Amino acid sequence: MIKIDMPGVDIDKIKDCIQQEVAQYKAAGKEKSFEPGPDFESSLPPFDDTLDLLLTIDGCVDKEQLMQFHGEDFINKAYMLILRREPDDQGKAIYLDKLHNGVLTKIEVLGRLRYSIEGRIKQVKINNLLLPFLLKTAFKIPVLGRGLRIISAIINLPVILQSIQRIENTAIARYELMDKRDRITQERISRLDREIERLDSDITRSRCELKADLLKRIKENKIAIVDLQRRLQIRLEEAEKGQKESDHRPVSSNMPPASGNDNAWGPLYDAMYLNFEERFRGPEEEIKDRVRVYLPYVQQACEHTGDAPVLDVGCGRGEWLELLKENNITARGLDLNDVMVNKCRDVGLEVVRSDAVAYLRGIESESLGMITGFHIVEHLPFTTMVALFDEAFRVLKPGGIVIFETPNPENIMVGACTFYTDPSHTNPIPPATLFFLVEDRGFVNIEILRLHPNESFRVEDPLLNYYFTIGQDYAVIGCKE
């Protein structure tokens, strides 16, 4: 801490000092030049360049510039300029505490440093310091100091008011500057938010477009693979057929044919199966009422395919074809049973006697609006069923629909008993299996429609009731995009 060497102060001495200082200013017009000793420069410790800005041309410390600094920075620069050294920790702490608590002003700190024993040895000149320092010191004299403060305040009132106005203007300017910066910041934030929202929208749109493109490519590749599989299957069937013909070719032209009655059972079987349908399938009018549920799907297919014709595979007695004809929908049927084909033709229905897969392979691609098959897939071997779906997909127009109805093995009575009433059935097909096969061969928007529940088997147990009364038949319905 710096010790101040100022013996007891009284008013007369203060007045004399003030008068002498004023007289000296008037006589010289300025303070005497500061002439540093020969060892002055070497006594200076290294300090930052900002200290040079606090010295006047003649080497004096610019008090007003120095007082622009605050707190620890002010203390450090005051020590460096006045005492030519770094402040000691104790002195710095005391001065900072008194500055923060209002016990000392900056003028008093500068005066105490300058007029301390160490400061007088350094002989650093500070412009306009003595008079303000003496006045500040006099303000602390009991009673008299209070009067001096009042007089000083009255004299300096214009300056004080000007300072207050300057502080107010500075505060307003800073507030306006902060407000302007805040508005600029908010505007930038808003622009960034909009840009982020735009980028997010672009990313979302790009992701959707990319996803749609990938899905499109996947579907195209899937269709291409299905078509390739179909072509390979045709080639395999042709190769197998050629191999079988080669295996059964007579070794000698003199060998008689194996049998002349191989096809003798055909007409008898066709007639018998018609009788079987009459007994176990149900009356034709009842069947027409059952299949009426599919008419909305026909209307949907017609809207998307421009009234392209409907093909019913395994048309049987022609109940579905009759219903379509009654609704002015162009349709034709396929069946291998001669008796049923003739029966349909007799009532004016267009029916072709042909194998379904062979017939479909013989017509143009994208030429039909709908293909239906009621209780046909359960008669087919698995490979034939897949070939049927592949050809159906090929010949349907975009927007066309397939409907395949079959017994529902989810119903316990169907899966355990009634399915096997027809000896020509191969295996029951669960709904999930048929759904998968139709989907795998390229169809979309697939749905399962369970039909014809049997309420006569209702029981109290909910689980048993579900499996006994669930629809006895179901249909898988799929679309071609």
Q: What are phi and psi of 446, to 5 degrees?
A: -80, 140
| Residue-level pLDDT at 54 | 66
Q: What is the distance between the alpha carbons of residues 436 and 386, in angstroms, rounded to a whole number? A: 11
Q: What is the pTM of this model?
A: 0.54
Intra-chain end-to-end CA distance of the chain, in Å? 94
Q: Would you give per-residue pLDDT tens digits along the chain (481 residues)?
A: 554 444 454 556 655 655 665 565 455 544 444 444 444 444 444 445 566 666 665 668 888 888 888 889 899 988 988 898 999 999 899 999 988 888 888 888 998 898 899 988 988 888 888 888 887 777 777 767 677 667 767 877 887 788 788 888 888 988 899 999 999 999 999 999 999 999 999 999 999 999 988 888 887 787 778 777 777 877 777 777 776 665 544 433 333 333 333 444 466 777 888 888 878 787 889 999 999 999 999 999 999 999 899 999 999 999 999 999 999 999 999 999 999 999 999 999 999 999 999 999 999 999 999 999 999 999 999 999 999 999 999 999 999 999 999 999 999 999 889 899 898 899 999 999 999 999 999 999 999 999 999 887 777 788 888 888 899 999 999 999 8
Residue ranges covered by each domain of the chain: 11-155, 267-479
The alpha helices in 53-156, defined as continuous H runs, are 63-66, 71-78, 89-101, 106-114, 117-122, 130-138, 144-155
Q: Residue 420 to residues 247, 361, 384, 431, 453: CA-CA distances in angstroms?
A: 35, 31, 20, 18, 18
Q: What is the distance between the alpha carbons of residues 88 and 70, in angstroms, rounded to a whole number? A: 18
| Residue-level pLDDT at 142 | 75
| Residue-level pLDDT at 238 | 74
| Residue-level pLDDT at 35 | 47
| Residue-level pLDDT at 151 | 75
Q: What is the CATH number of domain 267-479?
A: 3.40.50.150
CB 376, CB 404: distance < 8 Å: yes
Q: What is the distance between the alpha carbons of residues 361 and 392, in angstroms, rounded to a whole number? A: 9
| Residue-level pLDDT at 40 | 43
| Residue-level pLDDT at 192 | 93
Q: What is the distance between the alpha carbons of residues 389 and 355, in angstroms, rounded to a whole number? A: 14
